[in-house]
Homo-oligomer: A and B are copies of this chain.
């Protein structure tokens, strides 16, 4: 009994781990509940560890179960990525997929794509817009992405820094703080700040445009990297936040990638950007 866990077992396990409810999880998987119970029992026997605490009324993850939940997601991402990258390697029109947030390229993208075009062994680049770009990289839906550090978790990715710029507070033009030459984090203590890490208390903003709309309405204050603030709506003002850690825009790709086309894109990005001499590693 030392063969590897099967993908199906991990999928079933994660359904229960998400729902903490066997019947609902079974419904989500499109199977009956007893089949699911049996898969989990088999998994537990195979691993020699209890994964769930069943109190006949509630289901909770054991510590071992929590570990498996994280690891299983990672493993399934890798399996999905394997399938997707293989399919794409066989595609009749080979190309790279670059994931980014709309407007999040600091204006560098045209130069990067032009430079990439001139690289040997480059491929056409197709751009897709998505919020969760890191996930796209991890499960193989994208080959590269424009990310922000330190806002995003870069583990498992290789990176090429493109540009480092300070954070700016974006305020209604009429806001008392809008006239200031600079701000400190403490100055915004009483504001309903959007755009920092962690959940915000204010309304949700899906895109930058929506966020700025909310700022204009006086419902929130945004703190964002400078390169997304130009040009700015005329009813808004931006002020640098001097004691916040600056944000680096970077190109990222899966660390174990060996694609020459991705390497070409990285070279092009490094060459076409202001911060273009240092190579990010590991």
**Interface positions of A (Cβ within 8 A of B):** 3-8, 10-11, 47-51, 62-68, 70-72, 74-83, 85-87, 89-90, 140, 154-159, 255-256, 258, 280-282
B256–A155 CB distance below 8 A: yes
Chain B residues closer than 8 Å to A64, beta-carbon distance: 86-87, 89-90
**Shortest Cβ distance from A88 into B: residue:** B67
**Given the complex, which residues of B lie within 8 Å of A77, measured CB to CB?**
78
Q: A64-B89, A75-B81 provided; 10 other pairs, C-beta below 8 A?
A: A4-B7, A6-B7, A6-B8, A49-B86, A50-B90, A65-B86, A68-B82, A70-B256, A70-B258, A71-B82
Which residue of chain B is the closest to A83 with respect to CB atoms? B5
Shortest Cβ gap from A279 to chain B (Å): 12
B11, B50, B82, B157: which contacts A74 (Cβ < 8 A)? B82
Contact in complex: A4, B76 (CB < 8 Å): yes
Contacts of A5 in B (CB 8 A): 7, 79, 82-83
Partner of A89, one of B6, B67, B79: B67
A128 CB to nearest chain B CB (Å): 19
- 4 smallest A-B Cβ distances: which pairs? A155-B255, A49-B90, A71-B82, A154-B282
A81 touches B71 (CB 8 A): yes
| Nearest-Cβ distance from residue A260 to partner chain B, whole angstroms | 12
Query: Measured between C-beta atoms, what is the minimum distance from A185 to chain B in Å?
Result: 22
Out of B8, B65, B76, B282, name the residue touching A282 (CB < 8 Å): B282
Residues A79 and B154 in contact, CB atoms below 8 Å apart: no
Q: Which residues of B contact A282 (CB under 8 A)?
A: 154-159, 255, 280-282
Tell me if A47 and B86 are in contact (CB < 8 A).
yes
Contact A74 B8, beta carbon cutoff 8 Å: no
B contact residues around A67 at 8 Å (CB) = 85-86, 89
Instruction: Point out the residues of chain B lying under 8 angstroms from A256, CB to CB.
Output: 70, 74, 155-156
Which of A47, A89, A159 is the most central at the interface, judged by chain B CB atoms within 10 Å of its CB? A89
Q: In whole angstroms, what is the CA distance A211 to B228 when docked?
A: 56
Give chain B nearest CB distance to A248 CB in angstroms. 11
**Option from B4, B62, B140, B281 in Cβ contact (under 8 Å) with A154:** B281
Pair B68/A86 contact, Cβ less than 8 Å:
yes
Give 14 CB contacts A-B under 8 Å.
Answer: A4-B7, A48-B87, A49-B90, A64-B86, A67-B85, A67-B89, A68-B89, A70-B258, A74-B81, A74-B82, A154-B281, A155-B282, A159-B282, A255-B282
